[in-house]
Chain A
Amino acid sequence: MDVFAIIIAALFADNFVLSQFLGICPFLGVSKKISSAAGMGLAVTAVMVITCAVCYPIYTFLLAPLGLQYLNILVFILVIAALVQILEMVLKRFSPGLYSAMGIYLPLVTTNCAILGIAKIVTAVAASEAEAGYTLDVIFGKFVNIHMAMGYGEAVLSGLFYGLGFTLAIVLLAGLRIKADKLHVAKALKGFPITMLAACFMAMAFYVFTLI
């Protein structure tokens, strides 16, 4: 698969938050300040890369040969929870600076649907390859479904760039929210509604990339 296609799709056309609606809870909840938004984005990106790196081999070399694909939800969620826990401990021990930047967001990442989503996506692509069906255009956006051949490297790479796409969206939204706080808005629109309106305009901007 074309690496450039993955990057463009993951960052813009197929952005996790603004076109696939995955990870909306942290997107709305942790975007009050740019620093916390960046921390959350970093945490999500780190966990996504690790998840792809671990869940992909587990699925292709363990679950699929044994015919246990139906256990994927249970296995993935346990693996993700364990990985997040380990990552938190490692960061706390070896890199206190990084831990203070993104550590407190790590427990929240476990129940972020973007993480389980990326695990499902990369393994679904792998499974469809095994069955020699190359039409997964429902899951991926316009860019990627042209050449659908996903190996281990591409799975990890898409984890990285989908994570960065999430970070991009959440940091942009944090900036917009700081501006929106200074505006006089109707009382009914304060809080969630005005944030979602900001997200609506961002989604419009990102939608343009799918038209190219």
Chain B
Amino acid sequence: MKLQRFKEIALDGTVRQNPTFRLVLGTCPTLALTTAAIKCLGMGAAVIFVLVFSNLIISLLRNVIPDKVRIPCFIVIIATFVTVVSMFIEAFLPSLYESLGMYLALIVVNCIILGRAESFASHNPVLDSVCDGLFMGIGFTLSLTLMGIVREVLGKGMLFGATLWNFKIEFFAKPAGAFLTYALFIAIFNVCYNAVERKLKHKAAHKAAVAEHQTESAVAITKEA
């Protein structure tokens, strides 16, 4: 895989098609688990594992799976890896298992994973698919953790379980606070994203104009000569 392609996939997964803020997929765990930043990290790690391996297997089998029954096939593959990861966490990290509750099992129906299987892994080479899964997962984890930090600091006065101060706005730890935080995060992310994109486009247009001008003047000079 070329470096350029790798860069593109990495940028797509983490920023341009950020699953949480740009695509607004996988909203259930985002709203439910961002009460504590540590839960977000745990959830993110589980999602990265499932996404990488389901993308790997689906990409390997992309020419074998018949088109008509592809969705049930994808779901069975995903459910297998979810079972693996939930058994692993239950055995080795019981406290995390308890705090994630049923959202761990619900990774099966997380639209990010089925969405990547359907739109990327089912018609792309293996290495590309694995990278896509990895960076989509990282984008998900980063955005979740960011929201988790904000909600935990504001709602509980804590950060990763350590108490910072006694001041807390309990609203942010409640369901309504989850919706408010998510709405504001999407709005802020989109404003920043659009501003950066406009600037980049402007820069590219400027560069193209300069290049055109240079060739034009070069042509004029050769004509004169």
| Chain A residues within CB distance 8 Å of chain B | 18-25, 28, 70-74, 77-78, 81, 111-113, 115-117, 120-121, 124, 138-139, 186, 188-189, 192-194, 196-197, 199-201, 203-204, 206-207
**B110 closest partner in A (C-beta):** A113
A23 and B102 within 8 A (CB): no
A189 to B108, CA, bound (A): 30
20 A-B interface contacts by CB (under 8 A) = A22-B106, A23-B28, A73-B79, A73-B86, A73-B105, A74-B76, A77-B76, A77-B79, A78-B75, A111-B114, A112-B109, A120-B102, A124-B102, A139-B101, A188-B190, A192-B186, A197-B179, A200-B183, A203-B174, A207-B176
Q: Which residues of A are found within 8 Å of B108, using beta-carbon distances? A: 73, 77, 116
Q: How far is the CB of A198 from chain B (nearest CB, A)?
A: 9
A192 to B23, CA, bound (A): 10
In the complex where A24-B27, A25-B111, A139-B102 touch, is A73 in contact with B179 (Cβ < 8 A)? no
B176 and A138 within 8 A (CB): no
A77-B108, A116-B109 given; 12 more Cβ-contact pairs under 8 Å: A22-B106, A25-B25, A25-B28, A78-B72, A78-B76, A111-B109, A116-B105, A188-B190, A193-B187, A196-B179, A196-B180, A197-B179
Q: How far is the CB of B74 from chain A (nearest CB, A)?
A: 10
Q: Which residues of B are found within 8 Å of A71, using beta-carbon distances? A: 83
| Chain B residues within CB distance 8 Å of chain A | 24-25, 27-29, 31-32, 72, 75-76, 79-80, 82-83, 86-87, 98, 101-102, 105-106, 108-111, 114, 174-180, 182-184, 186-188, 190-191
Q: How far is the CB of A142 from chain B (nearest CB, A)?
A: 14
A73 to B102, CA, bound (A): 10
Q: Which residues of B are found within 8 Å of A207, using beta-carbon distances? A: 174-176
A81 and B75 within 8 A (CB): yes
Q: Which residues of A are found within 8 Å of B182, using beta-carbon distances? A: 196
| Chain A-chain B contacts (Cβ-Cβ < 8 Å), number | 112
A194 and B183 within 8 A (CB): yes
Q: How far is the CB of B219 from chain A (nearest CB, A)?
A: 43
B101 and A113 within 8 A (CB): no
**A138 closest partner in B (C-beta):** B101
**B98 closest partner in A (C-beta):** A138
Q: How far is the CB of B121 from chain A (nearest CB, A)?
A: 16
From B80, B106, B179, contact of A113 by CB (8 A): B106
A113 and B183 within 8 A (CB): no
Q: How far is the CB of B102 from chain A (nearest CB, A)?
A: 5
A85 to B80, CA, bound (A): 21
Q: How far is the CB of B93 from chain A (nearest CB, A)?
A: 17
Q: How far is the CB of B39 from chain A (nearest CB, A)?
A: 13
Q: Which residues of A are found within 8 Å of B76, using beta-carbon distances? A: 74, 77-78
A188 and B28 within 8 A (CB): no
A188 and B101 within 8 A (CB): no
From B24, B110, B177, B191, contact of A192 by CB (8 A): B24
Q: Which residues of A are found within 8 Å of B105, using beta-carbon distances? A: 72-73, 116, 120
Q: Which residues of B are found within 8 Å of A189, using beta-carbon distances? A: 183, 187
A200 and B176 within 8 A (CB): yes
Q: Which residues of A are found within 8 Å of B87, using beta-carbon distances? A: 70
Q: Which residues of A are found within 8 Å of B102, using beta-carbon distances? A: 117, 120-121, 124, 139
From A70, A78, A203, contact of B175 by CB (8 A): A203
Q: How far is the CB of B71 from chain A (nearest CB, A)?
A: 8
A197 and B183 within 8 A (CB): yes
A204 to B187, CA, bound (A): 21
From A117, A196, A203, contact of B186 by CB (8 A): A196
In the complex where A21-B28, A111-B109, A113-B106 touch, is A200 in contact with B80 (Cβ < 8 A)? no
Q: Which residues of A are found within 8 Å of B82, using beta-carbon distances? A: 73
B24 and A81 within 8 A (CB): no
In the complex where A18-B175, A25-B27 touch, is A111 in contact with B183 (Cβ < 8 A)? no
Q: Which residues of B are found within 8 Å of A77, using beta-carbon distances? A: 75-76, 79, 108-109
A111 and B111 within 8 A (CB): yes
Q: Which residues of B are found within 8 Å of A203, using beta-carbon distances? A: 174-176, 178-179
